[in-house]
Amino acid sequence: DVKVTQSSRYLVKRTGEKVFLECVQDMDHENMFWYRQDPGLGLRLIYFSYDVKMKEKGDIPEGYSVSREKKERFSLILESASTNQTSMYLCASSLPLAIYEQYFGPGTRLTVT
């Protein structure tokens, strides 16, 4: 059974803080993804990674960076958090040729005050 875990379910940070969101998957998937989910909008892709140390920008990468030092772990970094980054953040993973079959983590609800 695929398991994708995220380091925090809820986070409250102040404007300007550096924020780390961590995601770990246990199925040896090559692909990992970070999305944000806002009310009334579909999930929007921030970044994805198809291999260790490899990353690609998604649709809304501004204000975010990522790190993938190990295959099972994919981190999303907010260098200087802003209030418009208050959102639900979802991590997902998939096999390399099955990007359409993504397994999601439980999400981190981030509030920036």
Partner 1 sequence: KNQVEQSPQSLIILEGKNCTLQCNYTVSPFSNLRWYKQDTGRGPVSLTIMTFSENTKSNGRYTATLDADTKQSSLHITASQLSDSASYICVVSSGGYNKLIFGAGTRLAVHP
The tokens describing 42, both together, are 């579909």
Whose Cβ is closer to partner 1: residue 53's or residue 100's?
A: 100
Binding status of residue 110 toward partner 1 by CB under 8 A: no
Binding mask 69-108 for partner 1 (x = CB under 8 A): ---------------------x-x----xxxxxx-xxxx-
Query: Among 37, 21, 29, which Cα is nearest to 95's?
Result: 29
Sole binder of partner 1 in the list 11, 13, 22, 45 (CB under 8 A): 45
- Interaction of residue 62 with partner 1, rule CB under 8 A: no
Length of the chain: 113
CA distance 93 to 111: 24
| Cα–Cα distance, 35 to 76 (Å, whole number) | 10
Residues that bind partner 1 (CB under 8 A): 4, 9, 40-45, 90, 92, 97-102, 104-107, 109
